[in-house]
Amino acid sequence: MLKNQKFKEARKAAGYTQREFAEKFGSNQAYVSALETRSNFSMETAIELGKILGIDGKDLMVDEGGSKLEVDKESIVKNVLAFLKRNDIKIVDLIKEMNVSRTAFYNQIKNENMKQSFKDAFEKATQHKIMPIINGEKF
């Protein structure tokens, strides 16, 4: 099942018409219809859709074979940068406070075996745990 089909199914299961969902999402019915007919929406959009539907938006991210799509390294970086922007945290200030270089910062957030010291420094500097941000749960 494609992600657009998954979204449509989840919307209906939640009891929303396209128009009702559009109002909750802050868009219009045509946009919701488009989400249901094309399957190329982003992880960030999936997370926002999931919030309204009361589900994990990552569950909407499936490929043509129905397998869940994993968050790629670039999506991880985008998630962190989007979080920083929304919280008005400048990356230069953050890396200075964390006492890491820009390269080390990016290497750590893309690393599957992120150091605990990096996680702790990020949390201390931002007052937020990094893993939910990386996984797209904090938007």
Supply the pTM of this predicted model. Answer: 0.50
CB 11 within 8 A of CB 18: yes
- Model confidence over 8-21: pLDDT tens digits? 999 999 999 999 99
**Banded model confidence at residue 120, pLDDT cuts 50, 70, 90:** very high
Q: Rounded mean pLDDT of the chain?
A: 84
Quick: pLDDT tens for 31-77: 999 999 875 677 778 888 988 999 888 778 765 555 555 556 777 88
Dihedral of the alpha carbons of 98, 119, 137, 81, in degrees to the nearest 10 = 30
Sign of the four-CA dihedral 91, 94, 96, 101: negative
**Band of pLDDT at residue 139, cut at 50, 70 and 90:** very low
**Is 38 exposed, middle or buried (CB count within 10 Å of its CB: 0-12, 13-18, 19+)?**
exposed
What is the percent of the chain where pLDDT is above 90? 45
